[in-house]
Structure 1
Amino acid sequence: METKQAFNVVIVGQNGRLQYEAALFAASFRTANPRFPGKLFVAEPQPGPLWQGDPRIGDAAVRELLERLEAQILPFENRQFGKDYPYGNKIEMLSALPKGEPFVFFDTDTLILDDLTKVPFEFDRPSASLKVEGTWPQIELYGPGYTAIWKSLYDKFGLDFESSLDLGKPDEYWRRYLYFNAGFFYYRCPHEFGARFFDYATAIRNDPPDEIICQNMDPWLDQVALPLVIHSFGGGRDALEPGWLDGRTSCHYRFLPLLYAREEQRVVDVLEEVSAPNWVKKVLKGYEPMKRMIYQGKGAKARALFDRDNLPRREQAIRNQLKREKLWLR
């Protein structure tokens, strides 16, 4: 009998939208992975000076559902990030995970579609999501180009820039440069990865190279630091065979209206299957967008607006059409 690779899965859950997304993630995860050999953690930021109010999961029904789904709530403290940059949670929570145990992080707005132990992770070679657009940097007419900007960051941390390039892409085209969406990433040890991610992100924020002084780092800081961290550990864009994550095993849908508008029917079927049991439904209905999209038919109306074989090229066009129909619920 084949022994399944053991690793942990972690998402971030906190008060507001993310707690309900965490519940939906956990429901999809357990449906697809009923005998998962590792742990499912929901990392939860704790109150402190970097937050206004309490960031912890505030709905008691969500906490009960997560417990029933065998998700372990994992408290962590914010040392540098908080209300002003909540994306930093995915950096700071890594130090709370079990040291030396391989992990996969997912953004909370993700559905798990199949058995994660089938994914051929090489935990010694980290990678992250390539489901990404050229969101950073934004090149100014008389400013430095992609090469100068990215090279300044590699140089700052003593990393080899040339070996990070995809030489099959043209010079000054954004895909030539290592860039990921932080919707998932993984490595053999969360403490090693997290310490370097924390150091790189805070150094870029606090002492940026001259070439990026005019660049907007909010919300892009984590995605600027991430490729540098991955490259420093010997990972890269080719470390994971394509088609597994952001494919047949997971879907980073981001917002439910976008899921209904553009994802394949299999994803919608999984969403509606895992959200159907009454013990799940009564919790998810506590979040108005889920109540309306999943249970009151707004999702089906959003889906009917689009031809999945001929979607608008730009996501903004999809959003605009959903907004016109009053179906942009988030």
Structure 2
Amino acid sequence: MTFNILIIGQKGRLTHEACLFAATLRHNSPDWSGRLIVGEPEPGDRWPEDPRIPEGDQRSLLTDLGAEIVPFRNWHFGSSYPNGNKIEGLTCLPDGPFMFFDTDTVITAELSDLAIDFSRPSASMKRENTWPSPELYGPGFNEIWGALHAKRGGHLTDTLDLSWPDEYWQRYLYFNAGWFFGDDPKTFHHAFRDAALMIRDDPPEEIVTQVLDPWLDQAALPLAIHELGGGRPGDKGGIGPEVLDSSHSFHYRFLPLMYATAPDHVITAVQAATAPNRIKKVLKNYEPFKRFLYQPKGTKAREMFDRDALPRKEQAIRNRLKRNGLWIR
């Protein structure tokens, strides 16, 4: 299966994470034949500092690994809301099926083996009850999501998972924006952008008390996917929610969390991809990678947790890592 991949790269942490993503993609998915696009925000009024990837070892490694660094302009977001890069960065993709990954992701198996129905967009279900946060006396989930879908021409009833009770958050279409896919980046960009701008600039009264930073992208994504005829992964066939959040990729966000929580095959795949000297000499220049990939902190963090009995709340995992001097970001 041929499709293109978009990640975002810019100065700082995302530059290093892009290198790790590219290294794991090339090592663990050698038969994937699409284009790896690293979307790079251009400097301009919305970026007080130049956000581009600096010249040097990291940029060279990306191109050596076959990544194409493609600039894009921020028309609506920028430094005030960096998560908007995943919306505006879609403009630098060529036509054809695509998949977006957050840069803090590793690829752990062969992507070309996947049977993905790109005509039915979907996104990651690796999420928590983060947005919205209904107040005691309302409006509740039905009113909030109903108003948002209605304002974009959608129907709440078409998005509900009726296996969950009324007013319980998992009943409603909600994604983590760590990965999403579609068959046309232009139409996806338009739907995602317009939903985000509606929520930010012309919200229905039902959400005026809701916090949108950093949740704007995750509030807008279900509206865009519903508008484009998509839904939850695994509905109506296609890949299930476990494929791109476990067997074939892993959204780690912070390396200590990966070592604490990821299945064994993820750690094995990452260690194999980062072992070659040409990869190691670049990645170890970033302190979290140096400490966890090439020094004992990763092993120590892993030994502290039973992956079959992890704490229910991520904050508890973070707190234990911090108490033991194993938190770095």
Per-residue CA distance 1:145-187 (angstroms, 9 max, x = gap): 1000000101111111111111111000000000000011011
Task: List alignment gaps of at least 5 residues for structure 1.
Answer: none
Q: Does 1:320 align with 2:322?
A: no
- Find the aligned partners of 2:243 and 2:304 in 1 and give their Cα distance: 28
CA contact (8 A) 2:246 2:263 kept: no
Q: Who is 2:254 aligned against?
A: 255
Q: Who is 2:127 aligned against?
A: 132
Q: Who is 2:173 aligned against?
A: 178
Q: How does 1:240-279 map to 2 (within 5 A)?
A: 240-242=238-240, 243-279=242-278
Q: Who is 2:183 aligned against?
A: 188
TM-score (normalised: structure 1): 0.96
Give the aligned residue type for 1:287: Y
CA RMSD of aligned residues (A): 1.0
Q: Who is 1:54 aligned against?
A: 50
Runs of 4+ in 1 over 6 A off after TM superposition: none
- Find the aligned partners of 2:26 and 2:215 in 1 and give their Cα distance: 31
3-state SS, counterpart of residue 44 of structure 1:
strand
3-state SS, counterpart of residue 24 of structure 1:
helix
Task: List alignment gaps of at least 5 residues for structure 2.
Answer: none
| Identity across the alignment (%) | 55
Per-residue CA distance 1:73-122 (angstroms, 9 max, x = gap): 111010011111000000001111113x1100001111111111111110
CA contact (8 A) 1:113 1:249 kept: yes
Per-residue CA distance 1:31-64 (angstroms, 9 max, x = gap): 1222322111111111111012111112511111
3-state SS, counterpart of residue 65 of structure 1:
helix
Q: Who is 2:75 aligned against?
A: 79
Q: Does 1:26 align with 2:25?
A: no
CA contact (8 A) 1:164 1:178 kept: yes
Superposed displacement of residue 285, structure 1: 1.1
CA contact (8 A) 1:95 1:195 kept: no
Per-residue CA distance 1:228-264 (angstroms, 9 max, x = gap): 1101111101264313211211111111000000111
Q: Does 1:164 align with 2:156?
A: no
Change (3 A) 1:304 1:198: same
Superposed displacement of residue 314, structure 1: 0.6
- Is the deviation greater in 170-179 or in 305-314? 305-314
CA contact (8 A) 2:31 2:112 kept: no
Which residue of 197, 201, 204 maps to 2:196? 201
- Is the deviation greater in 59-68 or in 317-326? 59-68
Aligned residues between the structures: 325
Superposed displacement of residue 299, structure 1: 0.8
- Find the aligned partners of 1:33 and 1:305 in 2 and give their Cα distance: 30
Q: Who is 1:65 aligned against?
A: 61
Q: Who is 1:287 aligned against?
A: 286
Q: Who is 1:219 aligned against?
A: 214
